[in-house]
Amino acid sequence: MEIDEVIPAVEDNEEQPPTRDAFIPGKHVLQKDEILEPDDSVYEMRHSMNVNWPCLSFDVLRDNLGDERQRYPATAYIVAGTQADHAKNNELSVYKMSSLHRTQKDSDDSDSDEEDEDNLDEDAVLEFRSVPHFGGVNRVRAQPLPPSTPLPPVNQPYHVATWAETGKVHIWDIRPLIESLETPGYTAEKLRTSQPCFTVNSHGSAEGFAMDWASSGGSNPSGLRLLTGDIHSKIYLTTSTPSGFNALSQPFTSHTSSVEDLQWSPSEPTVFASCSADQSIRIWDVRVRGKKSAAAIVEAHSSDVNVISWNKATTYLLLSGGDEGGIKVWDLRNVNSTSSCPSPVASFNWHKAPITSIEWHPSEDSIFAASGADDQVTLWDLGVEQDDEEAGMTDGLESEQEVPSQLLFVHQGQKDVKEVHWHPQIPGAVISTALDGFNVFKTISV
pLDDT over 90 for what percent of the chain? 74
- Domain map of the chain by residue range? 5-51+145-159+169-174+197-443
Average pLDDT over residues 114-140: 83
Residue 218 — very low, low, confident or very high, per pLDDT cuts 50/70/90? very low
Residue 399 — very low, low, confident or very high, per pLDDT cuts 50/70/90? very low
Average pLDDT over residues 251-269: 97
- Predicted confidence at residue 219, as pLDDT, reads 44
Average pLDDT over residues 413-422: 97
| Domain spanning 5-51+145-159+169-174+197-443, CATH class | mainly beta
| Highest mean predicted confidence (pLDDT) among 33-37, 185-189, 191-195, 238-242 | 238-242
Average pLDDT over residues 84-96: 97
- Predicted confidence at residue 317, as pLDDT, reads 98
Q: Of 45-54, 103-112, 237-246, where does mean pLDDT reach its minimum?
A: 103-112
- Predicted confidence at residue 106, as pLDDT, reads 60
Residue 238: pLDDT above 90?
yes
Average pLDDT over residues 406-435: 97
Residue 416: pLDDT above 60?
yes
Q: Mapped to the 3 state alphabet, what secondary structure does the chain carry?
A: CECCEEEECCCCCCCCCCCCEECCECCECCCCCEEEECCHHHEEEEEEECCCCCCCEEEEECCCCCCCCCCCCEEEEEEEECCCCCHHHCEEEEEEEEEECCCCCCHHHCCCHHHHHHCCCCCCEEEEEEEECCCCEEEEEECCCCCCCCCCCCCCCCEEEEEECCCCEEEEECHHHHHHHHCCCCCCCHHHHCCCCEEECCCCCCCEEEEEEEECCCCCCCCEEEEEEECCCCEEEEEEECCEEEECCCCECCCCCCEEEEEECCCCCCEEEEEECCCCEEEEECCCHHHCCCEEECCCCCCCEEEEEECCCCCCEEEEEECCCCEEEEEHHHCCCCCCCCCCCEEECCCCCCEEEEEECCCCCCEEEEEECCCEEEEEECCCCCCHHHHHHHCCCCHHHCCCCCEEEEECCCCCEEEEEECCCCCCEEEEEECCEEEEEEECCC
Residue 340: pLDDT above 50?
yes
Average pLDDT over residues 383-397: 62
The better pLDDT of the pair 180, 105 is held by 180
- Predicted confidence at residue 405, as pLDDT, reads 95
Average pLDDT over residues 63-69: 95
CB within 8 A of 17, min separation 6: which ones?
Answer: none
pTM across the whole model: 0.89
| pLDDT tens string 287-331 | 998 999 999 999 999 999 999 999 999 999 999 999 999 999 999
